[in-house]
Amino acid sequence: MIASTSISKWVTFPHPVPEATLRLFCFPYAGGNSLIYRAWPFGLPENVEICAIQLPGHGNRLPEPLFNSLTPLVSALALQLLPYLNKPFAFFGHSMGGLISFELARLLRRECRQRPQHLFISGHRAPHTRDFEKRTFELPEAEFIEELRRLNGTPREVLDHPELISLMAPVLRADFTIAQTYEYVDEGPLDCDLSVYGGLRDINVTREHLEAWRRYTSANFNLRMFPGDHFFLHNSRPSLLQTMSLELRRLS
Instruction: Note the pLDDT of residue 86.
Output: 94
Q: Annotated catalytic residue: which of 95, 101, 195, 236?
A: 95
Specify whether 95 is catalytic.
yes
Instruction: Note the pLDDT of residue 165.
Output: 78
pLDDT digits (tens, 9 = 90+) for 221-230: 999 999 999 9
Over pLDDT 90: what percentage of the chain?
75
pLDDT digits (tens, 9 = 90+) for 46-93: 999 999 999 999 999 999 999 999 999 999 999 999 999 999 999 999
What residue ranges define each of the domains in the chain, with the CATH number in brackets?
11-127+186-249 (3.40.50.1820)
Blockwise average pLDDT, block size 10, the chain, 252 residues: 57 95 96 95 96 96 95 96 96 97 97 93 92 72 78 71 80 91 93 97 94 97 96 96 96 74
Q: Is the dihedral of CA 84, 45, 59, 108 positive or negative?
A: positive
Instruction: Note the pLDDT of residue 121.
Output: 98
**Distance, C-alpha 232 to centroid of its chain:** 14
Residue 116, Cβ density class (10 Å: 0-12 exposed, 13-18 middle, ≥19 buried):
buried
Instruction: Note the pLDDT of residue 132.
Output: 60
